[in-house]
Amino acid sequence: MTSGREHSALVIGGASGIGAAVVEIYRARDVPTTVWDVAGSYDVRCDIAEPAAIDRALRETVEARGIPRWVTVTAGIGHSGLLTETSPDEWDRVMQVNARGPWLCLRALARAMADAQLSGSMVATSSVSAHLVDRTMGAYCASKAALSMLVKVAAFEWGPLGVRVNAIGPGVTQTPMLGPTPATSPWLSAVSERTPLGRLGQSPDIAEAIVSLHQMEWVTGQVLDCDGGLSLYSPIDSYGVTRRRPRDQ
C-alpha cells in the first residue's frame, strides 16, 4: 500500500448526524475527507456489518487518497427494549453494528497504517450509556460498553505502532438516531432540564470534541464524555421514575 496524502481523514458513518458534522469541519479546513456510509451522500458505500465490505471500501479509499491518518467511526444504531423482551436477533444486530463493526474498521485501518509504517489517530463514537444504567436500553448499553473497552485495548496494542485510539461518549444528542421524537417531548424536555449546560447536545458539539481528540497527540485509550454534564446524574431513567416492585411483607 502507498501512503498517498498523509493528512487525510476518513469518517465512517459520515453521511448524517455526528459524522456529517465531523466531515463539515474537515472540509471547511480543506482536509481531504472520505465518507463511508450505506445511505445519503457518501464517497464509498460500506456496511460495517460486513467484513468484505470494509476490506473493499479500504481498498477504494487507499487507491483514491492513500491511507487516512485521522479515522473517525460514528456508524451505529440505537435500540430500546427491556432485557426480558429483547430477542437474540435484536441483541446480535446491535452488537454487530455497534461493537463488532467498529472493531473490524479500526483493525483494518490499523493494519494498513502498520504496513505502511504510518502513525495515525482513531476516534470511535461510544456513549455515556456505556457506563450509565439506562432502563430499557440494555442491549445498546452493553454494545457501547464493549466498544469503550475495545478502544482501551486497541490503544494499548497499537500505541507502539504510533496509532492512538480514543472514543467520544455523547449524551442525548439531536441526531437521526432519535427518530421523530420532537425536542419539545416530555422526555427530551426533562433531559434538557437535567443537563447542567441547559440544553440537548447537537451534532457540531460532538464533532468539535472528536476533531480535538484527533489533535491531542499525547492522549490515547480515553473515552471523553461530551454531554453537557448530563452524565453527572446517575442513572438516566429514560421513561420516568423506575417502577419498583413492592417488597413482600
Three-state helix/strand/coil letters over 9-72: EEEECCCCHHHHHHHHHHHHCCCCEEEEECCCCCCEECCCCCHHHHHHHHHHHHHHHECCCEEE
- Is the pLDDT at 132 greater than 50, yes or no? yes
Tell me how far apart the alpha carbons of residues 5 and 62 are, in angstroms, rounded to a whole number: 10
Tracing cell 459524522 back to the chain, one arrives at 19
Q: Which domains does the chain have, with CATH numbers?
A: 9-231 (3.40.50.720)
Tell me how far apart the alpha carbons of residues 221 and 158 are, in angstroms, rounded to a whole number: 10
What pLDDT is stored for residue 6 in this prediction? 54
Is residue 140 among the annotated active site residues?
yes
Mean pLDDT, the chain, rounded, equals 90
Q: With bands split at pLDDT 50, 70 and 90, how would you rate the model's confidence at 232? A: confident
**Residue 186: is it exposed, middle or buried by C-beta count within 10 angstroms (0-12/13-18/19+)?**
exposed
For residues 38-66, average pLDDT: 97
Instruction: Point out the least confidently predicted range of 21-30, 88-97, 125-134, 152-161.
Output: 125-134
Query: 133-156: per-residue pLDDT in tens?
Result: 888 899 999 999 999 999 999 999
Q: Which of 26, 140, 233, 239 is catalytic?
A: 140
